[in-house]
Amino acid sequence: MKHFALFCVLFLFAVSLSAAELSLKKTDEGYDVLLGGTLFASYLTDYKGTPIVYPIYGPGGQKMTRDFPMSEHSDNSEAKDHPHHRSLWFTHGEVNDCNFWMLNAQKIVHRKFDKTESSGSIAEIITQNDWLDKKEQPLCQDVRTLRFGQLNGKNGAVRYIDFDITVKAVQDSVIFRDTKEGTFGIRVPGTMDLTAKKRNPLWGGHIVNAEGIKDEETWGKRSAWVDYFGPVDGKTAGIAVLNHPSSFRYPTYWHVRDYGLYAANPFGIHDFEKKSGQPGEHKLKNGETFTLRYRVLFHNGTADEADIADAFRQYAE
């Protein structure tokens, strides 16, 4: 009987391990990332002019970004504003005289996959992309490395996406200009944003950064991390974005809004610190690069309950 009980424990442990395995499935639009055979996220090579990650499911099974404008099934919990907010994406508002942030502007075009591999505990996607100018010539290029995984957190399972991007100039002069309209963006679920309580008293979340600054006051501040949390499908869930210390211009500025935009932007100093006089633009000569590194955590509960401060320490190490 003891041996049988031990066998059952080991069997259930093995099942739980296999259920957490990550795998990749090729699709017509890119790749699905599966966790235990269930969809965790999809990498799309193009959605209206840029690569995005959509949808994304948290550890509780909830969708962790707004559906609009990607899905026709977007419900009345979501404000239908800012259609250029495309789930999880990376662009910038002004590069030379080009606007990659808005819809119907310049495009970031997927060129190829360098790597698509899953090892069981991690799924990795590496891509090359061209930023096309108004003449549809490459202005700059990027290499994006996305790693998908799951950790054991302080408040249950935590899913994560590590997003590293190296941008290289391929023209003689490339300037990432000083504007708040950028850069590494997420649009949170409609029930989570701060303004949602105006639509339903059971909705509405909070924002907090590493310094303990909260809600609207987090806009334009520099911080190692920010967490946006609130109700999703009746349960409290959160999205924390961590900025790695090796990232360009760490700690980054945050273009994080009460209506649900959530973006790390190291360039918008003029907008964020109007009296500083320090220019935020960054100039690249042909062949020069910069690298940004982020970890996006999808967790249960509040920032305190998930201990995002400790999660950042582990990521930074």
Q: What is the pLDDT of residues 99-128, one digit of tens each?
A: 999 988 899 999 999 999 999 899 999 999
The half-sphere exposure of 41 on its side-chain side, counting CA atoms within 13 A, is 29
How far is the C-alpha of 38 from the C-alpha of 246, rounded, in Å? Answer: 33
Q: Choose the CATH number for 2-316 among 2.30.29, 1.10.357, 3.30.420, 2.70.98.
A: 2.70.98
Provide the Cα torsion 70, 76, 80, 86; round to 10°.
Answer: -30
pLDDT, averaged across the chain: 92
Span 169-215, pLDDT tens digits: 999 999 999 999 999 999 999 999 999 999 999 999 999 999 999 99
Q: CA-CA distance, 88 to 56, in Å (whole number)?
A: 9
Residue 240 contacts residue 300 (beta carbons within 8 Å): no
Q: How far is CA 49 from the centre of its chain?
A: 17
The pairing of strands 235-243 and 108-118 is: unpaired
Whole-angstrom distance, CA of residue 233 vs CA of residue 217: 27
